[in-house]
Chains A and B, each alone.
Chain A
Amino acid sequence: MARNISQSRRWGFTILAWGAALVIFFPILWTILTSFKTEADAIASPPKFLFFDWTVENYAEVQSRSPYFRHFMNSVIISVGSTLLGLVLAIPAAWSMAFQPGRRTKDLLMWMLSTKMMPAAGVLIPMYLMFRSFGLLDSRLGITVVLMLINLPIIVWMLYTYFREIPSEILEAARMDGASLRNEILHVLTPMAVPGIASTLLLNVILAWNEAFWTLNLTTSKAAPLTTFIASYSSPEGLFYAKLSAASTMAIAPILILGWFSQKQLVRGLTFGAVK
């Protein structure tokens, strides 16, 4: 049903929405602007918004001081790797919870989600010690597994929600048609859940890309992703705002572009099944 909204209220809401969007976007905008300032302009008071000496020196400086490409590749490997590994584990798990639920399935799902509420700092020490014992500190494998474990509850939950939308009769039909469990998941369930799996993949790549707590604590150089790369420009003296901003801009640019192109897919996936 269409609502009657007066012209002035419509304008009011539009301005409010733009205002809210600007507040959310402002830190990113400010980071990008700062990355083109000299260090002096970056800490000038009052702050300079657009009228300053534009320079790309920071980018050149950052490039020469640390291997951006290596960090970038680490970020790609860790975020994509942890997500793919998570999907391989989560698809069968979500299948069993959605189509063969037991009496405790709901409890299990809640418990999985509750692990996300646990403060990460609480397990930092045991995790660190375990990593040290297994020689996994600063290794891509180690950090990939940790990020996979951290995001696994979200992956399972998202897939579970999508799978529940798929009529179980179709899977039964596959069983009657002689499909083994593997074929049923591979040829029937997965293709039907592609939109859901795609948005799960996207969201988790973004989450893993942005994850800072574990990457900062468990990697130093060899396996260090872009988060560590940014952190290396923050110093107690705080005199490198412009270089820090340049590093940040380079770190978030890939994921920003990915998010921009997959907006539709993300929104569709996140609201999948909300309206039949």
Chain B
Amino acid sequence: MGSITLEQVCKSFGEVEVIPGVDLQIEDGEFVVFVGPSGCGKSTLLRLIAGLEDVTSGRIVIDGQDVTVAPPSRRKLAMVFQSYALYPHMSVRKNIAFPLKMAGLSADEQERRVQHAAGILNLTDYLDRRPGQLSGGQRQRVAIGRAIVREPSAFLFDEPLSNLDAALRVNMRVEISELHKKLATTMIYVTHDQVEAMTMADKIVVLRAGRIEQVGSPLELYRRPANRFVAGFIGSPNMNFLEGEAAARLGAHAIGVRPEHFRLSMSEGAFAGRVGVAEHLGSDTFLHVDLDDGTHVVARAEGEFPASHGDRIHLTPQDGRLYRFDQNGSAL
């Protein structure tokens, strides 16, 4: 079991209020991703749940138990850190067994669980090595191994993939998702990478300046962003925003169109402009277009699209794929 409830959780560092008051319900077995730009308080929120920081006010409940003032060791949570935070003086085996040793398990039981975790994570051949002798991906797996042997009620991941190179990141992303399917344990995952958020999450929590901007499934956020911030943050490349006359015509302060929701034409369309940079990836073509009113937009065409630098191009938003925002940025 691993349901987690946050009630009006606040955190201040001295005079500075980092988290002004967060309410959040995380269901048992859910994969929840906290996403937002750096400094939005997502890591702080995770550390509050872990018990590594004390809340200034509010309540944290795990499995119906109030753990607001409980030390980290009493919360039955496991955490994977960005820097892996392995114990450099211990072998992989001892690293993984450390939480078991602290829990006072017998040596046989420790070894059994270490072998089991090592099997799941392909670490069996490396058990006698030190962390310093492992690659980044292997270290990350050891950190995950150390987390899973405890059979915690929830896993906390603090940007676990940001120290890995791009190819490895994709692999580990899949591995963590598979692990979640296998273990069916609650996971809270912090990242600033919205692709990780979209691909892994059951539920995404978008944060800005310590406040929750929106909570929902990846596609809910993609299809119905609550405001301009979420609209701009979710989706890659970012949503294009147009203000002024074009927006006013639709009765909005700003309108938003995702790059993949433009129809492209060389001859006619709603907006006209000139191609600045054309990125031909084969599977997609990304065009960076300077519209006649000076706005810079990005449009995506599927497959190969015959446009290059300097070409004149026309863009039309697809029906029903246009978002309208008021003065405050809220969706209309």
Contacts and interface: CB of A to CB of B under 8 A. Distances in A.
A72 B103 CA distance: 46
Given A167-B83, A172-B52, A177 B98 contact: yes
A192 interface: yes
13 contacts: A167-B85, A170-B85, A170-B88, A172-B52, A172-B79, A173-B85, A173-B146, A176-B73, A177-B73, A183-B102, A191-B89, A192-B87, A194-B89
Query: Taking chain B's interface residues, is the majority helix, strand, or loop, or is none over half, making it mixed?
Result: loop
Contact of B99 (A169, A170, A172, A177): A177
Interface residues of A, number: 18
B85 A178 contact: no
A174 B82 CA distance: 15
A192 B146 CA distance: 19
Contacts of A170: 85-88
B52 A179 contact: no
A183 B103 CA distance: 11
A66 interface: no
Can you list the 8 inter-chain pairs with the closest CB atoms, starting with the nearest? A177-B99, A173-B85, A178-B102, A178-B73, A169-B85, A176-B79, A191-B89, A175-B72
B14 to A, nearest CB: 9
Contact of A172 (B85, B86, B89, B103): B85
Contact of B73 (A167, A180, A187, A191): A180
Interface of A: 167, 169-170, 172-180, 183, 187-188, 191-192, 194
Nearest to A166: B88
Nearest to A170: B85
Nearest to B104: A178
Contacts of B102: 177-180, 183
B71 interface: yes
Interface in B51-103: 51-52, 71-73, 77-79, 81-83, 85-89, 98-99, 102-103
A192 B130 CA distance: 13
